[in-house]
Amino acid sequence: RAKAAGGNRFELADPEADARAITRHGLTTALPTALDRGEFFIEYQPLVHLGDGSVRGAEALVRWLHPQHGVLSPDRFIPLAEHTGLIVPLGRWVLEQSVRQAREWRDANGGDVLGPLRINVNLSPCQLTHPGLVQDTVEILERTGVTPDALCLEVTESALIGADDDLLKPLRRLAEMGVDIALDDFGTGYSNLANLRRLPVSVLKLDRSFTQSMQQFPADPVDLKIVEGIVSLAHSLDLAVTVEGVETGAQAEQLRILGCDTAQGWYYARPGPPERLHELALVDATG
Ligand code: C2E
Ligand code: MG
Ligand code: MG
Ligand code: MG
């Protein structure tokens, strides 16, 4: 917005942009010590089987309880953490906490009642290129006594577009150990579908934009065909399909009919504290 600033001169004024820049600067300064101060915490959002509605696991989503700004969502600080390099220790912390949590859920039920609850953890592209990824993951699993098949690492489609063998190597190692790799936000990038064969992934997480297009019942026939095509391609490549952002029962029903396997979204539960997931899974297991 340009506004008159005396005489015939104009100056650009965007107070919101100024505020954003100041906050970004402030956040960047506060970020390095936030981990040591214990200001991060993790919320868990259930992953629900579309066929029978059972809770199969949860995605770990990090938050920052900032002393001045309150709870900040990852979109506000993950890019800054990537920029400053804090993402590597932060990501390792999230992984350790989440895997530990998965172990606690299991122990709280004598290892049995809930069945194997799985834990999904997001990986940033910077973590992929960090040499310690495989070893850190192995150590965390060993320390916590959680088996690799209980862990799923989510990597965005855009992080793997054009990925060369060096970038894929650590993911291959992890996949060989039995860790699942999910392609997050699938359908937002421009990846060549044939390229999927090359990637060591076992799960496609269909982006929320597809779920949103299932809002009307019946949904737009072209959108239906697209999702149907992706699901059938995924299944023919032995990939499971998870859908994100399910907010209504109608969406869940359409996506179930289209053959999607697992769903996640506010319709089932918002991200919440670990006790909440435990309750949801327990209610589910005991009727
Ligand atoms: P994502 O991995 O695609 O996670 C799904 C996002 O969708 C989460 O946002 C979740 O709260 C939100 N969501 C879930 N259900 C619904 C729904 O029904 N409707 C709508 N509108 N949204 C829904 P959140 O928690 O703000 O996280 C945003 C992104 O931040 C994540 O997207 C992920 O890319 C990143 N992120 C979160 N935690 C971590 C982390 O520990 N490490 C890294 N590297 N990235 C993380
Ligand atoms: Mg994710
Ligand atoms: Mg996602
Ligand atoms: Mg997303």
In short, whether 71's Cβ falls inside 6 Å of ligand 1 is no
Q: What is the pLDDT of residues 43-79, one digit of tens each?
A: 999 999 999 999 999 999 999 999 999 999 999 999 9
8 Å CB contact between 90 and 64: no
Contact 209 CB / ligand 1 (< 6 Å): no
Ligand nearest to the CA of 251: 1
206 alpha-carbon distance from chain centroid: 11
Q: Which residues contact 8 (CB under 8 A, 6 or more apart)?
A: none
For residue 239, is pLDDT > 90?
Answer: yes
Q: Which residues contact 165 (CB under 8 A, 6 or more apart)?
A: none
Q: Is 184 in the pocket of ligand 1 (CB under 6 A)?
A: yes
* Bridge partners, residue 45, by sequence: 59
User: Confidence band (pLDDT; 50, 70, 90) for 34?
Assistant: very high
Please give the distance, rounded to the nearest whole angstrom, from the Cα atom of residue 185 to the centre of ligand 1.
10
pLDDT at residue number 62? 98
pLDDT at residue number 25: 87
> Mean of the pLDDT values across residues 274-281?
86
Separation between Cα atoms, residue 6 and residue 115, nearest integer Å:
71
Mean pLDDT of 222-226: 91
Residue 173 has pLDDT above 90, yes or no: yes
Centre of ligand 1 to C-alpha 122, Å, is: 9
Q: Ligand 1 pocket: which of 244, 246, 266, 270 to mutate (most atoms <8 Å of CB)?
A: 244
Ligand 1 contact via 265 beta carbon (within 6 Å): yes
* Residues 201, 239 contacting (CB under 8 angstroms): yes
User: Which residue has a Cα nearest atom 11 of ligand 1?
Assistant: 271
Smallest CA separation from ligand 1 atom 33, residue: 122
170 contacts 134 by C-beta, under 8 angstroms: yes
CB environment 160-169: b (16+ within 10 A), e (fewer): beebeeeebe
CA distance 234 to 203: 8
The overall pTM is greater than 0.90: yes
Determine the pLDDT at residue 182.
97
State whether the beta carbon of 244 lies less than 6 angstroms from ligand 1. yes
Looking at the CA of residue 246, tell me the nearest atom of ligand 1.
Answer: 18
Q: Which of 76-80, 170-174, 177-181, 223-227 has the lowest mean pLDDT?
A: 223-227
Mutate which of 122, 137, 204, 246 for ligand 1? The one with the most ligand atoms within 8 Å of its CB, which is 122
The answer to whether the CB of 207 is under 6 A from ligand 1 is no
pLDDT of residue 84 exceeding 50, the answer is: yes
| Residue scoring higher pLDDT (269 or 117) | 269
- Mean per-residue pLDDT, 85-106: 95
Beta bridge partners of 153: 121, 181
Average pLDDT, integer, range 199-213 = 94
List, for residues 120-146, the tens digit of each pLDDT value: 999 999 999 999 999 999 999 999 999
Backbone CA torsion sign across 49, 53, 54, 55: positive
